[in-house]
Structure 1
Amino acid sequence: MANGKQANENGIFSIRNIRPGDYTLFAWVPGFIGDYRHEAIITICSGCNIEMGDVLYEPPRDGPTLWEIGIPDRSAAEFYVPDPDPKYINRLFVNHPDRFRQYGLWDRYTELYPDGDLVYKIGVSDYRKDWFFAQVVRYTGTAYSISFVLCDLLFS
């Protein structure tokens, strides 16, 4: 993504209306962990057009993924989002893909887990139903747990 815009199918993007100054190019790819950071400082001046050439992002990876919760896309949309408290409903986010932006949703965590914190079981739990969209803090502290059996993951 570039300045909130995606590259086209050929990987070409442009960023318009930038104030003159020195910048660093950062980017990310939905579905991949990590960020791209262009090493050189880019100096923007009025009316300039800078061709970056090929910009190659190689996601960091040291081994196979044993498990993951959700999709690395910088969004909370795929996780469990409770219905909002009726007194805080923002009608802009009713039936909206970004419904997790409703005010006060974090407060629902304590209502949903009154006696203990969330425990997510790899291979059993479903992040769409069992992983709260935000990691909130209770007044007495919060302990999210992720449970898995390593042998099952390594040898299956």
Structure 2
Amino acid sequence: MAKETGRKIIARNKKARHDYLILDTYECGIVLTGTEVKSLRQGRASLADGFAQVDGGEVWLHHVHIPEYAQGTWTNHSARRKRKLLLHRAEIDRLIGKTQESGHTLVPLELYFRDGKAKVEIALAKGKREYDKRQTLREKQDRREAERVIAAVRRKQRA
């Protein structure tokens, strides 16, 4: 069997980029059981309610939903169990210091396979206020409108 290469995205947390200001990102390995890996290979997972937490010098991923494997037996996993993330000690120490600051949290952004291994991208994030969310949406709409106008001008020039 050929070795798997590249990056295959399983789940993406789109709402995290809307609700949080992303300060820094980390790519982590994730400790999974066999049935969890099989379920992920089918492309089934949800990061919607997930968050990460540093506990006892280790980083844990909470509330990420990986559904039970359909062909699993009594060895099947619990869908929302907490899972250990694999990071270097220096990264964990840096996260411990940053998450103790007010308003900072760890949120998962993507869950994917990279060269056959399950990885999760977590972000050190700070929660946005409601007016910050509106401002971000307004800027995004303004950028889209400007791009539309520029495209229309270019089409006229070609014709």
The two structures have a TM-score, normalised by structure 1, of 0.23
The two structures have a TM-score, normalised by structure 2, of 0.22
Larger Cα-atom Rg: 1
Answer 1 or 2: which has greater helix percent: 2
Answer 1 or 2: which has greater strand percent: 2
